[in-house]
Structure 1
Amino acid sequence: MSPAEKAAQLGSYWADERDSDQVIAPMQDTLSAGRRSFETVAADGIGQLTRVFGTRPVTAEEGRRQLAEAQRFLLTGTRLGIPALAHEECLTGFTTLGATVYPTSLAWAATFDPEAVHAMARRIGGDLHGVGVHQGLSPVLDVVTDYRWGRVEETLGEDPYLVGTLATAYVSGLEQSGVVATLKHFAGHASSRGGRNHAPVSVGHRELRDLVLVPFEMALRLGGARSVMNSYTETDRVPAAADRWLLTELLRQEWGFEGTVVSDYWAVPFLQAKHRVAGTVAEAARLALHAGIDMELPDLIGYARLDEDDPDPASTRADVDTALRRVLRQKIELGLLDRGWEPDPTGPAPELDNADNRAVARRLAEESVVLLANDGILPLAPDASGRVLLVGPCADDPGCLMGAYSFPIHVLARHPELGLGIEVTSLPEALRAELPQAEIAVLPGTPLVDADPELVAEAAEAARDSDLVICVVGDRAGMFGAGTSGEGSDAPGLELPGHQPELVEALLATGTPVVLVVVSGRPYALGRYLDRTAAVVQAFLPGSEGAPALARVLTGAVNPSGRLPVQVPASPAALPHTYLAPPLGQDGDKISNLGIAPAFPFGHGLSYTSFELSGPTLDADQVPVDGQLTASVRVANTGERAGATVVQLYADDPVAQVTRPVQQLVGFARVELAAGEAAVVDFTLHADRFSFVGVAGERVVEPGEVVLSTGHSVGDLTGSASLQLVGATRRTGPGRELVTGVAVTREG
């Protein structure tokens, strides 16, 4: 291969035909390679094709044809005839016209249901594979540390074990469908200062290892992910795209990763334009390549210039060959270099919004809805005949149900003539179907962000004449400030956006019972409303089946089972805060005038039935530092209807050589029980599950006391048991046990 042919395999081509103000990626208008023809760019071949389906509205059939034409050119119009990998976004489903929109990742996390997440990923992977796409740029494994960050909706919450477990389920589902899963953003994107997009990250080595990196290690080792995408951020002043320790020494040499590392869009030229660690694009490209980025996305910009003013050509050639072997090996694994491989699709294009997809989307949406508070007003009787006011900026806008990386929000915002591109039931339609005898009036109440006192007054007047108010507030996702949630749509604080608080206050002042429904991409501070609302329901952008799911939860056709993967703050001043803080970061002891106790803690969620949960029974009270134990927990449905609960197991390390979280999730099990039914959950934990990075910077299991507690949430623990880890302090290696075993045995 010639140097130009090698470099071409390390880059991508994006047929980007939009105006400069229609961007869907950061600095796209200034850093894009421009509108060069595919034949020109790919004259020596190309490594990947960027978003053939996800850039502009094309049908599945059109996209397949365009992809096949590009592949045919590579096969017959280039000297080597090497096909390209095609990649697409797939965070809330295949990001293309007419595809099912699943709930956001934060909603998956609220299900605590790895099986459901795996089933969704199999459906998404099947759709991608069915149209010729090889790589999906998902999932997001960033652990939330500041709720103001715009991309909270894309994450799986604030606990690394929950994130890692559900991400592993997603990855394995995508990979089993024959599609390469891409872990992002490696590493620390969600830990940016001030919750601001692309801001520097301030974490030490221990926090990086114990909080940020754990989910990536799980998804690579246990899920089999074959690709990793770098983070845009910089940690301790080193940009991730130029961090050889992160991308090579840790990822490859320590963890043994053999797949490809792809750049986040324009992360390579960012090293010059944003981070200023390179004087030229060519220098930036050499930095990224040497750090360990094998593939430049979405355009071939920097890697096309690797030889410009190169002070060490031999070293660059060696780095090129290393990356090239990884890229070609992945193409071989995918069958692209098999003799006789043909790009032409056979049979009809798959239906991307079929009944099976919708069934999985509906399951996830229903399981993700969290009942935060309820004075008994819910569930609403299906034969209720009173006057119901459905009010709020999110009450009658199906777009508010979807995340920023869904195609209707991500792309179709620039094509209003196409609407949402799929059939989506609105919440008023869904409620009227569930409450056929009720008189349901619908009002906006207030714009999402702007002020309109007349709308607020109109809503308050209607509320006084109603028997019940369902107030739907929250977010509408959008990119780079076009929404109140999503990439680049960071929040200044944790009050509900815009003038929604004024609407809520006006409705509460009427004295009519108010059910507050929050449909959002992040948790908002709700403490000021709690003693005046009849019920509070949280849904994290539940997707195209979100409205029926909400209606069925409100009326009791579905018993709510969602649990919080993030805390809901009581006060907007609780910044930044997650439940994993060490003692000094917790609320209490009158150490500050700013209280940070949450309104609802991690893991919280109510049901229309009741569950009784025992404390843990341990099969040993002493365990070697390299041994394991079983903690058994009995859970019973003591109510009058079937339901699901999430049994949660937490660990507390009362005395350690470094400060540790007061409680940390080490196991969980979603258990469905009929009325009166009981089960025993056995959690099997290796001592590695209590490891942490110690004073010397090495991961250790330390002898001493560990307290295991069970609970309905981290704030509602039902019992505890103490054990002693015995022996000398033990170093753990990369092969340590990462998962707690779970077995559920039903009684009788």
Structure 2
Amino acid sequence: MTTPWADPACPRDDRVEALLAEMTLEEKLAQLGSAWPGVERVSGNVAPMQDVFARHTEFAVASKNGLGHLTRPFGTRPVDPADGARRLASMQRELMDNTRLGIPAIAHEECLTGFTTYRATVFPTALAWAAAFSPGLVERMAHAIGSSMRRVGVHQGLSPVLDVVRDYRWGRVEETLGEDPYLVATTGTAYVRGLESAGIIATLKHFAGYSASKGARNHAPVSMGPREFADVILPPFEAALREGGARSVMNSYADVDGVPAGADAGLLTRLLREDWGFEGTVVSDYWSVAFLRTMHRIAATDGEAGARALEAGIDVELPDTLAYGEPLAELVRSGAVAEELVDRAVRRVLRQKAELGLLDADFTPEVDVEEPIDFDPPAHRAIARELAEQSIVLLDNREGVLPLAPDTASIALIGPGANDPNAFFGCYSFPNHVLPHHPGYDNGIRTLSLLEALAAELPAARIAFEQGCPIKDVDRSGFEAAVEQARKADVCIAVVGDRAGLFGLGTSGEGCDAEDLALPGVQGELVEMLLATGTPVVLLVVSGRPYALGVYADRAAAVVQAFFPGEEGGPALAGVLSGRVTPSGKLPVQVPRTAGGQPATYLHAPLGGNSEGVSNLDPTPAYPFGHGLSYTEFAYTELSLGSAEIPTDGEVEISCRVRNTGDLPGAEVVQLYTADPVAQLPRPVTQLTGFARVFLAPGEERQVTFRLHADRLAYTGPELRRIVEPGEITVMVGASSTDIRLWDTLRLRGGVRTVGHERVLHTAVEVG
């Protein structure tokens, strides 16, 4: 006879309550814990403080009372897809057959640039998704990622990162969606929809404030006021929960104004659950519960750390069970921690297991391994190529050297990123995240370096390659050969930037923070020497963060920016250089003029702008937010507001016409900005309020219509309530935050209106 909790015909919550009533305290706590089998065999950190906390515990011992989560069964070491599926099924079968209640675990994996496992597609990094300004394509990518994960029995993905960039020196800028909360919210929500549509639980991270650390140092404290926190940091999470349907949230390592997120009930319970209505699970960032004792020092024991986290609202401890096991059980038995808090978290975990089918009597963990498992099929590579192409940003083309002339006879391809396919991969790609700890393995996927891709793209050209210098090390021994090749060539392409890694092994990525925004190592010196040759230089930056390019901008013939474009980055870049691809990416972050120009953001109030007469330092960037050129031209005309005045709870249509006036087909990202010239508190001088990617053939014209609700103009007012207030709003449409082509004034009438969680979060757009 099937027990009530194993019957899928019973209501979900009834099943959960029936199962909860059967559980001992130890079995309940087991559902709040996790195990990371095999991590002890990794020679090097793939998570912070792994060398301190990772344990060798037999799986049967770790799971004797059951298990909430299985940590990274595919993403810890190279494993053949079929072998990995069998191993995961074996662990699930052991849980089902050898524990009293037989409940399988939720298997989770990283999936920021694709399923982080061997032989899986490496898509562009999140910063590149944002540069594409193409949420629909990002949604398709995420669905593809989720489909691969679901195919082999994985249930949850630890993505997307919704941290809004506040300082480009932070190592994890590459994992973010840029510095504008609306762009982050819109693109992140699209990713969530795609992953969830494949049956994978999306996990929003890092909740909240992690990216605003002091000095841009990983895990550093955050000093931020409640208004900035509410208006900049929180909106992407709110949108991804409400509009994307994300079912999990991961806490931030940071403390904000002295309160660690992992022990903040105001954040994880009152805001997230009571105000926003979130019903999913909160999972800890890896070892962040133990960090309450070791790093934040607000608990004397692991049990106390577990109690603080559980009370605040963390439901599951990842990646292993240090605090939520026996240390927490002792406090519950003694009465120091109420068992009701344990039950609260267990209910949330069991609800998700019911939704995933893990509680069903007929659930089987085995998957079909007779059919070949391809984690990098042609359809995924096609998405990777399309996204890479759309994300490449043409910053400058002052001498018109791009696209390369068909009769270009000789090209000097110089730089440490020119012949290294791994230079296209982000920190959380399997080749850069895990394989450095497993020498002897190839990348497991076919990837062309730029040298190989350009040779295939331009077979008649003579291409001479010289590394010039390494990415990071101070080694000038290759300068002379590089300069010689540049002098002899018709054009020089200088490929500089980053190599993603972990905890100092790279120049970008988790734990790879920068002291300033000068190009790493001696790459800047190499660029200077190449510019001095007199040969036209195309400066191609492949990086995880924006670097200060102002010193080169007025001397380079052209400047191109790519943010780790993934496994198809070589052909995509070669296509842009040759002209086969018309560039259409736009900057999701500013590109600074000077190496010390941090922190800075285009979302500055009037005091943060032009400092003439006030300071000797000018924060004006080399290239502004939203900037990106094309090989064709676009004209904007006929701005029209459906009404010149709307109430503070109204909506207005804002339309314009965009025409391709050049000779090539291309896509333009039409950007809607607003400004509040006079408000109760200082407001950003301009702020992205909507956008649309529009493809146009030569001579083609289309109408773009934004439906702007007054809620989108809300901000946190003097009394810390989000308000919409009457007055004039400047409406601007253009090609970047500073290249405004059309503008008008919209008046809001009525009284000051307070808005809450149910406000309109999205600006709808139609292209006709």
Give the TM-score of the pair, scaled to structure 1. 0.98
Partners in 1 of 2:680 and 2:155 — Cα distance?
Answer: 46
Correspondence for 2:9: none
Structure 1 residues 380 and 724 mapped into 2: Cα distance closer, same or farther (>3 Å)? Answer: closer
Partners in 1 of 2:717 and 2:372 — Cα distance?
Answer: 54
Correspondence for 2:59: 38
Correspondence for 1:331: 353
Correspondence for 1:25: 47
Matches within 5 A, 1:372-391: 372-381=395-404, 383-391=406-414
State the secondary structure of the residue aligned to 1:418: coil
Structure 1 residues 586 and 145 mapped into 2: Cα distance closer, same or farther (>3 Å)? Answer: same
Assess if the C-alpha contact under 8 Å between 1:403 and 1:409 holds in 2.
Answer: yes
1:541-600 Cα deviation digits (max 9, x unpaired) = 000000000000000000000000000001112110010010111123332112110000
What displacement does 1:451 show?
Answer: 2.4
Whether 1:277 aligns to 2:298 is yes
- The residue identity in structure 1 corresponding to 2:588 is P
Correspondence for 2:28: 6
Correspondence for 1:597: 620
Overall identity of the aligned pairs, in %: 57
What displacement does 1:338 show?
Answer: 1.0
- The residue identity in structure 1 corresponding to 2:84 is G
Match of 2:77 among 13, 33, 56: 56
Partners in 1 of 2:664 and 2:360 — Cα distance?
Answer: 56
Match of 1:686 among 709, 723, 726: 709
Assess if the C-alpha contact under 8 Å between 1:615 and 1:720 holds in 2.
Answer: no
Partners in 2 of 1:240 and 1:21 — Cα distance?
Answer: 30
What displacement does 1:416 show?
Answer: 2.7
Whether 1:723 aligns to 2:750 is no
Partners in 1 of 2:257 and 2:697 — Cα distance?
Answer: 52
What displacement does 1:457 show?
Answer: 1.7
- The residue identity in structure 1 corresponding to 2:231 is D
When structure 1 is superposed on structure 2, of 21-30 and 138-147 the one drifting more is 21-30
Correspondence for 1:587: 610
Correspondence for 1:354: 377
Correspondence for 1:256: 277
Whether 1:94 aligns to 2:115 is yes
Correspondence for 1:157: 178
Partners in 2 of 1:420 and 1:18 — Cα distance?
Answer: 22
Whether 1:78 aligns to 2:99 is yes
What displacement does 1:466 show?
Answer: 1.3
Structure 1 residues 325 and 194 mapped into 2: Cα distance closer, same or farther (>3 Å)? Answer: same
Match of 1:200 among 208, 221, 229: 221
Partners in 1 of 2:530 and 2:736 — Cα distance?
Answer: 30
Partners in 1 of 2:42 and 2:404 — Cα distance?
Answer: 52
Partners in 1 of 2:132 and 2:104 — Cα distance?
Answer: 39
Partners in 1 of 2:403 and 2:749 — Cα distance?
Answer: 54
Assess if the C-alpha contact under 8 Å between 2:402 and 2:558 holds in 1.
Answer: no
Aligned length in residues: 744
Match of 1:701 among 712, 717, 724: 724
Correspondence for 1:629: 652
- The residue identity in structure 2 corresponding to 1:194 is G
1:651-679 Cα deviation digits (max 9, x unpaired) = 10011111110000000000000000011
Correspondence for 1:238: 259
Structure 1 residues 210 and 615 mapped into 2: Cα distance closer, same or farther (>3 Å)? Answer: farther
Matches within 5 A, 1:99-498: 99-304=120-325, 305-309=327-331, 313=335, 315-346=337-368, 347-381=370-404, 383-498=406-521
Assess if the C-alpha contact under 8 Å between 1:171 and 1:224 holds in 2.
Answer: yes
Partners in 1 of 2:635 and 2:35 — Cα distance?
Answer: 57
Partners in 1 of 2:702 and 2:113 — Cα distance?
Answer: 33
What displacement does 1:454 show?
Answer: 2.7
When structure 1 is superposed on structure 2, of 418-427 and 546-555 the one drifting more is 418-427
- The residue identity in structure 2 corresponding to 1:5 is E
Correspondence for 1:546: 569
What displacement does 1:349 show?
Answer: 4.8
When structure 1 is superposed on structure 2, of 375-384 and 46-55 the one drifting more is 375-384
- The residue identity in structure 2 corresponding to 1:62 is D
Correspondence for 1:653: 676
Correspondence for 1:644: 667
Assess if the C-alpha contact under 8 Å between 1:306 and 1:316 holds in 2.
Answer: no
What displacement does 1:377 show?
Answer: 3.5
When structure 1 is superposed on structure 2, of 412-421 and 692-701 the one drifting more is 412-421
When structure 1 is superposed on structure 2, of 611-620 and 355-364 the one drifting more is 611-620
What displacement does 1:614 show?
Answer: 2.9
Assess if the C-alpha contact under 8 Å between 1:573 and 1:594 holds in 2.
Answer: no
Correspondence for 2:591: 568
Structure 1 residues 587 and 19 mapped into 2: Cα distance closer, same or farther (>3 Å)? Answer: farther
Correspondence for 1:501: 524
What displacement does 1:46 show?
Answer: 0.3
State the secondary structure of the residue aligned to 2:565: coil
Assess if the C-alpha contact under 8 Å between 2:121 and 2:380 holds in 1.
Answer: yes
1:107-135 Cα deviation digits (max 9, x unpaired) = 00000001110010010010000010000
Whether 1:15 aligns to 2:29 is no
Assess if the C-alpha contact under 8 Å between 1:615 and 1:709 holds in 2.
Answer: no
State the secondary structure of the residue aligned to 1:469: strand
Match of 1:712 among 735, 744, 753: 735
Assess if the C-alpha contact under 8 Å between 1:286 and 1:316 holds in 2.
Answer: no
- The residue identity in structure 2 corresponding to 1:26 is P
Partners in 2 of 1:219 and 1:124 — Cα distance?
Answer: 18
What displacement does 1:465 show?
Answer: 1.3
Partners in 2 of 1:294 and 1:160 — Cα distance?
Answer: 27
Structure 1 residues 682 and 448 mapped into 2: Cα distance closer, same or farther (>3 Å)? Answer: same
1:334-388 Cα deviation digits (max 9, x unpaired) = 1111121111112425300110000000000000000000024443446334111
Unaligned runs of 5+ in 1: none
Whether 1:609 aligns to 2:632 is yes
Structure 1 residues 312 and 697 mapped into 2: Cα distance closer, same or farther (>3 Å)? Answer: farther
What displacement does 1:43 show?
Answer: 0.4
Assess if the C-alpha contact under 8 Å between 1:187 and 1:230 holds in 2.
Answer: yes
- The residue identity in structure 1 corresponding to 2:29 is A
Partners in 2 of 1:454 and 1:446 — Cα distance?
Answer: 7
